[in-house]
Amino acid sequence: MSYANSLFCPKSKQYAQPTPNQNALDYWEQLKETLQPTFDTINSQLTEHQRLLKEKAALAKTAHASERERQKLLERLQNLELTLDLWKAQANRVRDLPLEDVAYHLGLHQDNKAQHKWKGSERIISIIGTRFYDFTGNQKGGGGATDLVMHVLGCGFQEAVLWLQDQFGESVICIGNKV
């Protein structure tokens, strides 16, 4: 039996034979009617296959876009981590600046009678080593150059670090590198 025969009548694996008085057009219609369910099934499968291919292409496109976005976010995260490390290093360098030098740059003047007291801007601040205490207003104390700048200028951490960097410039880097 040939392949063509199995195509036309898959169940019987034979051609539907014409009847003795049947003309060619009627025979053709009979074949079409017999084979139409098979054609419909094949067309349905083809349509579903095409839909799946489109869906696969769309998913691949989405996956590619997601991977690009993931790479961008990973790069951004690495940049933020680097920035954070730089900020921490900078904060560590400026934190160790001598408070007396910082007080001077803040416009405070050392009291002639008590060397550990600094006055200015309606403040009296005591500085001993790396600690300070403000005797005026809210009577607040703290430690380190960053805290002193934040307290006197009323600014946040980042602004204080930037202010110290602006005021002390290269000397901050030298202190950080122990030069």
> What is the distance between the alpha carbons of residues 90 and 162, in angstroms, rounded to a whole number?
9
User: For the segment 136-159, what is each residue's pLDDT rounded down to a tens digit?
Assistant: 877 788 889 999 999 999 999 989
For residue 40, the SS3 value is helix
Please tell me the pTM assigned to this model. Answer: 0.54
Beta-carbon count within 10 A of 160 CB: 24
Per-residue pLDDT at 67 exceeds 90: yes
The Cβ-side half-sphere exposure at 121, using a 13 Å CA radius, reads: 15
